[in-house]
Structure 1
Amino acid sequence: MKLFRIDASILPGASASAEIADTVQAAWAQTHPDAPVERRHLGTAPLPADAWALATTAGFTPAPERTPAQLRAMELAAELAAELDRADAVLLAVPLYNYGVSQHFKAWADLVINGAGATTPVLKEKPTVLVTSKGGGYQPGAPRAGWDHSTPYLRRVLVDIWQADLTVIERELTLAASTPGMEALREEAAREHEEALQAARGAGRVLAEAVARV
């Protein structure tokens, strides 16, 4: 049994998404204590910004004419796709940044699509947990309702393209405790935090049980 984990926070020491993902992983480990966990931290070790373009243009270039940079990019794309292929379960911790998906995660997803094929369901029959954290509030009725352009994208890629058996854990208002002007939201933020931790414990157990049944 192997768990593959992605983190995309640029602040790992204070990452709200990592805390929730750690809780999921801890619950997983209670069932699979000796199972390996393969990790890739996109926030602290980002992929080359030009890799996707190089890998993509390599596909339109005759093999003898591909540059060393294109070949390296193709190898990287294949490696990233293979990491998912080796996994029995997947855990993704992806914060909302500037109302959209993390550029580090987007670069990774684009390269996986390149390496695996545009329509290849690389997560089919793989139980997957997505943890996403948001500094503000984006639910209906909130001032920024509808501004979360990350979570819908993530669902499209993970479920509609990659066919993951997906569980999503969302935590909002992560900045309320430290941001002036958000004092009135701190009680709600604390409740969101606790609910996310509870959901993470449950998701980790379900993830472990789903793999055990395969």
Structure 2
Amino acid sequence: MAVLRIDASIQGPRSASTELADLVEAEWSAARPGTTVVRRHLGADPLPAEAWANAVHGSFLPEDQRTTAHHDSIALASSVAAELRDADAVILALPLYNYGISQHAKAWIDLAMVGGGQGEKLLDGKPAIVLTTRGGAYGPGTPREGWDHNTDYLRRVVADIWGGDLTLVEREFTLVGVNPALDAFTEQAALMRKAAHEAATAAGRHLATR
């Protein structure tokens, strides 16, 4: 069995989304130690920003008119799509940055879109655990309610377009303890972290028993 894990954090060992993905993977690995985990860390090793445009433009050209950049980008897009297609399940750790999806994750999604077949559901009913984190709070009644342009986008892509059986795990207030302006929310943030860790652990355990 193969699991595709995608990370997109730029925070290295301080990453809250990576921490959640580690919990999911640990539960899976404990139950299924022989599982192959295919990894892409988009934050540490970003995909080329120009690859999507090159793949799109190259796809409209006869093969003998494509440049080396066109060929390389089309091959990369095909590889990214194939990783999703070939996986039995996916673990996607994709944090919110600047009120939306990170540029690294967007580049990966765009390449998967052009690398797959027209209308192809690259996940087609497979388990897909999305772990997303936010530095502040964006829920109902907060000053930035409606500013989260990441989570609904991920739902649309992973579940509606790619057809994944989505489990969403969210954590807010990850900047509490980092940004002094948020010190008043220390207790609330600790409860959110605990709830997110429990949800990630449960999602990993459920994934491993499917």
TM-score by length of 1: 0.96
- State the Cα distance separating 1:180 from its structure 2 match: 1.2
- State the Cα distance separating 1:118 from its structure 2 match: 4.1
Matched residue, 2:26: 26
Q: Deviations over 1:47-73 (max 9, x none)?
A: 000000000001111211011100000
Distance (whole Å) between structure 2 residues aligned to residue 157 and residue 163 of structure 1: 8
Aligned: 1:113 with 2:113 = yes
Distance (whole Å) between structure 1 residues aligned to residue 45 and residue 145 of structure 2: 32
Report the 3-state secondary structure (helix = DSSP H, G, I; strand = E; otherwise coil) of the residue aligned with 1:3.
strand
Q: Percent identity among equivalent residues?
A: 52
* Paired residue total: 210
Q: Deviations over 1:118-156 (max 9, x none)?
A: 411001121010000000000001111100000111111
Matched residue, 1:187: 187
Aligned: 1:50 with 2:53 = no
- State the Cα distance separating 1:201 from its structure 2 match: 0.8
Matched residue, 1:152: 152
Distance (whole Å) between structure 1 residues aligned to residue 10 and residue 62 of structure 2: 38
Report the 3-state secondary structure (helix = DSSP H, G, I; strand = E; otherwise coil) of the residue aligned with 1:158.
helix
Matched residue, 1:164: 164
- State the Cα distance separating 1:117 from its structure 2 match: 2.5
Distance (whole Å) between structure 1 residues aligned to residue 33 and residue 64 of structure 2: 47
Where does the alignment leave 5 or more consecutive residues of structure 1 unmatched?
none
Where does the alignment leave 5 or more consecutive residues of structure 2 unmatched?
none
Counterpart amino acid of residue 92 in structure 1 = L
Distance (whole Å) between structure 1 residues aligned to residue 31 and residue 118 of structure 2: 34
Counterpart amino acid of residue 7 in structure 2 = D
- State the Cα distance separating 1:89 from its structure 2 match: 0.7
Matched residue, 1:4: 4
Report the 3-state secondary structure (helix = DSSP H, G, I; strand = E; otherwise coil) of the residue aligned with 2:91.
strand
Give the superposed CA RMSD. 0.8
Distance (whole Å) between structure 2 residues aligned to residue 3 and residue 206 of structure 1: 14
**Greater than 3 Å deviation, 4+ residue runs:** none
